[in-house]
Chain A
Amino acid sequence: MNDLFCDNACLVMSLLFIQTSSEERTLAHRQCNDGRCNFDFVEYFCGKGELTRHLLKKGFWGAAVDLINDAEAQDCLEPCGLRLFLNLLGAAKDHALIWLGTQCSSFVVLCLAQSQRYMENFFRGDMRREFVRIGNALQEFSSLVMFLSFVLNCETILEQPLNSCMPQAGSFPHVLSFVSARKHVTYAGAFGASSVKPLQLWHAGVGNFTDLERPKPDWLTESLATHDDQGRFTGRRDALEISGQYTPAFAMAVADIYSAQFHP
């Protein structure tokens, strides 16, 4: 049963490619050497796959996975999904772009009252809560991928909101230090998002992604949270969901910068 499940996982993995098929565009398909994959990129936690879409347009070949494509087969907290996720990394070629858009919800300030992530507990938080435990597992998975992709000579980027404490949690501080990751701060609002949304991008590799940095878009006023009289704030679910997806301009900028340095 489990094997069958794994088969489905591999098939469902390429849902994004099906989505792109409606656009009738052409795709430069690179045949794998020796019958093996040779991915130019792997996008973990890809959401709607805007980044993958633009990388494919540039002629890169790769894979994109996310729980929202298949709640069982692409769940990296399940054995089959995790194996799929790790196998994808093993199929990435030198200087492949490994993009980690790991779910940030349990690490952001907005959830601090519930998650209780503080320096005293190594930002591991209140582990009696399920969403905190899930967050910790995703964080350790991301941390493991970052280390492995460094060893495999890939270009790895962890993307988080600026107020997320994920880079400080668990094994991440050591991994980021060990792989000499560089932090870039930018704003989704500068790439056409409706809110400012500051982002931190941690990059490990020989490439240079400094061009993703943008000044703060002061003209934007939309907030992702509402404040009450006592200073407490609550997230706006609809706005938060929209902000979770990359804008086409952001995805295009990443694809442009990557393709300028590592040709397809």
Chain B
Amino acid sequence: MPGLEQAQHAVKVKKTQGKKKQKCHHGDLSQQSQAEMSEGGMFRIPFTATRVQETLAEHQQRVDQEDLELELTFWSCTHFKLLDTVVVSPFLKCKSSAAESLQSLGQLVDQFLTGDVEFGGFAVMLWPVLIEMAYPFMKGMCLKEMLMSLVDSWVCSLRVRSF
């Protein structure tokens, strides 16, 4: 039912974006602070209380954006298998160059989980509870899927890393 999935995804995107849009209104930066952000992204500023408020607003805006994208990515992660064969979802930000990294990541997580069993299986038993608490939409995923989705989203969306 690919059509239905796409439709569901579209609805989810729309809903989430609407919600986030409301949350972001206080994250608008003043013209002055935007001007300060010139010069190649690096600048020095007096660390005053006013500046702190602006910094907090900037941070808030970034966190909101990240949350939005993380949720979208995780949502799509539930639709692909992260075991031996890595299928990159069309919704993931990782392009073809990340596939090799994903495979390496999968092997790394596998190695870790194999060892975990020998050490009592605490990670398998307890980490999903923590991850689910932070990201309820990951409920039902196994620990490997959770860890891979989490890292994959961070690596692909937030920075570049080769394993």
Do A and B interact with each other, yes or no?
yes
In the complex, which residues of chain A have a beta carbon less than 8 angstroms from the beta carbon of B66? 36-37, 87, 90-91
B52 contacts A35, C-beta separation under 8 Å: no
In the complex, which residues of chain B have a beta carbon less than 8 angstroms from the beta carbon of A35? 61-62, 65
A29 in complex: contacting residue of B45, B60, B119, B150, CB < 8 Å: B45
CA separation between A30 and B37, bound complex, in Å? 9
With A79-B133, A79-B136 in contact, is A171–B47 under 8 Å at CB?
no
How many chain A residues have a CB neighbour from B under 8 Å?
A: 56
B62 contacts A152, C-beta separation under 8 Å: no
Task: Say how far A152's CB is from chain B's closest CB, in angstroms.
Answer: 6
B153 contacts A21, C-beta separation under 8 Å: no
Which residues of A2-31 have CB atoms within 8 Å of chain B's CB atoms?
3, 6-7, 10-11, 13-14, 17-18, 20-21, 23-31
A171 contacts B44, C-beta separation under 8 Å: no
B47 contacts A21, C-beta separation under 8 Å: yes
**Is A148 interfacial (CB 8 A cutoff)?**
yes
CA separation between A171 and B131, bound complex, in Å? 15
**Is B23 interfacial (CB 8 A cutoff)?**
yes
Task: Say how far A181's CB is from chain B's closest CB, in angstroms.
Answer: 14
With A36-B65, A82-B134, A144-B130 in contact, is A21–B49 under 8 Å at CB?
yes
A28 contacts B59, C-beta separation under 8 Å: no
Task: Say how far B137's CB is from chain A's closest CB, in angstroms.
Answer: 11
**Is B81 interfacial (CB 8 A cutoff)?**
no
B55 contacts A29, C-beta separation under 8 Å: yes
CA separation between A20 and B105, bound complex, in Å? 39
A26 contacts B133, C-beta separation under 8 Å: no
In the complex, which residues of chain B have a beta carbon less than 8 angstroms from the beta carbon of A33? 41
B62 contacts A36, C-beta separation under 8 Å: yes
A31 contacts B41, C-beta separation under 8 Å: yes
Main secondary structure of the interface of A (DSSP, over half): helix
**Is A102 interfacial (CB 8 A cutoff)?**
no
B48 contacts A24, C-beta separation under 8 Å: yes
When A and B form their complex, what is the total count of cross-chain residue pairs whose Cβ atoms lie within 8 Å?
151
A32 contacts B134, C-beta separation under 8 Å: no
A37 contacts B62, C-beta separation under 8 Å: yes
B161 in complex: contacting residue of A25, A87, A152, CB < 8 Å: A152
Q: Which chain A residue shows the least CB distance to B61?
A: A35
B47 contacts A20, C-beta separation under 8 Å: yes
CB 8 Å contact bits of B84-112 with A (1 = contact, 0 = none): 00000000000000000000010010011
Task: Give the bracket for the number of chain B residues in contact with chain A.
Answer: 35 or more
**Is A94 interfacial (CB 8 A cutoff)?**
yes
CA separation between A17 and B155, bound complex, in Å? 27
**Is B83 interfacial (CB 8 A cutoff)?**
no
CB 8 Å contact bits of A229-249 with B (1 = contact, 0 = none): 000000000000000000000
Which residues of B120-161 have CB atoms within 8 Å of chain A's CB atoms?
120, 122-123, 126-127, 130-131, 133-136, 147, 150-151, 153-155, 157-159, 161
**Is B46 interfacial (CB 8 A cutoff)?**
yes
Chain B CB within 10 A, most for which of A29, A36, A82: A29
List, sorted by A's number, 16 A–B pairs whose CB atoms are closer than 8 Å. A18-B49, A24-B48, A26-B46, A27-B45, A27-B47, A30-B41, A36-B66, A82-B130, A84-B63, A87-B66, A90-B153, A91-B66, A144-B131, A148-B147, A151-B147, A170-B122
4 closest cross-chain pairs (CB), A and B:
A31-B41, A174-B119, A171-B122, A90-B154
- Interface set of B (CB-CB < 8 Å, partner A): 19, 23, 37, 41-49, 51-52, 55-56, 59-63, 65-67, 70, 105, 108, 111-112, 115-116, 118-120, 122-123, 126-127, 130-131, 133-136, 147, 150-151, 153-155, 157-159, 161, 163
Given contacts A7-B60, A91-B66, A122-B122, 10 further A-B contacts (CB under 8 A): A7-B23, A20-B47, A37-B59, A82-B133, A83-B135, A94-B159, A147-B147, A151-B147, A171-B116, A174-B118
